[in-house]
Amino acid sequence: MTSTKTTKWDNYIIELSNIIFFWFFSVLFFLVFRLIFIFTFSSEIDWENFSNNIFQILITGFRFDTMVTSYFIITPLLATLITSIFNKIRFARILRKIFQYLFILLSPLICVITINYYHEYNNQFNHFLFLGLYDDIDAVFKTIIADFSPFLNLFILSSIYYLAYKLLKYFEDTKLIYSYLIQFKGRLINSLLVIISLILFTFSIRGAVFEKRPIMRKWAYVTNDDFLNKTIINPYKSLLYAIKDFNEVNFVED
């Protein structure tokens, strides 16, 4: 009986360690993107106040990033909690890998599109993005070929896909986090670890610790530099806000 419990807990810790690594990987991905975004359009930066603003930009951006990262983690985390009880952790592992590959597939794509979109419209995604739905599709396609360097973008995307896949593959079942967490023994301590994991996840998906409400778009305007403020909200949240704005602008009351 003791051996079974140990096996269940060990499997849970292995999978929790992978989820924690996935969380760090995703947050770091957004951080690197934000820095690339900032320095790609560095000519728009107010350099006199840059040193005062950059820390606030990265901290506030981090809060949006943890929220989006949690969207990819919530299903694997819940599956890990549930399946570990029945010693069926393999199902949770498969789910986690699916969401990891989804993140690898979608995130570089949306980030590259964001940079191209900003280059053209001087903003991250907004409701004007969907005006292309009403345009001539052939004309839109020709514009993409002419203005957005598709071959360069494909090369960049392919490189990011390769590096991201290799990193996640290399650190699969990472022992660094596992070797630390597995030291916690005892029913009470194990229960506390599960509770702490859920509390930290709650903070992560809210993007807030002490505030009553989850982080919101209006909190992104934290500096006197208009360009830097535009880099705070990551592409996923920017797209979600664009969809929301588009629906509000085009809402027709019956």
49: enclosing H helix or E strand:
none
Rounded CA Rg of the chain: 21
What does the pLDDT profile of the chain (254 residues) look like in tens digits? Answer: 344 445 788 889 989 999 999 999 999 999 999 999 999 999 999 888 888 899 999 999 999 999 999 999 999 999 999 998 888 899 999 999 999 999 999 999 999 989 988 888 888 887 777 766 565 555 555 555 556 677 788 888 999 999 988 888 887 766 778 888 888 777 888 888 889 899 999 999 998 877 778 888 888 888 889 999 999 999 999 999 988 888 877 765 44
Dist CA 92 CA 237 (whole Å): 26
Q: 125-161 burial, b for 16+ CB within 10 Å, e for fewer?
A: bebebbeeeeeeeeeeeeeeeeebeeeebeeebeebe
Q: What is the pLDDT of residue 147?
A: 61
- What does the alpha-carbon distance between residue 161 and residue 167 come to, in Å, rounded to a whole number? 10
Query: The whole model's pTM is what?
Result: 0.87
Q: How far apart, in whole angstroms, are the C-alpha atoms of residue 45 and residue 37? A: 11
Can you give the pLDDT at residue 1?
A: 37
Q: What is the pLDDT of residue 212?
A: 79
Residues 72, 77, 78, 82: what is their CA dihedral angle, to the nearest 10 degrees? 150
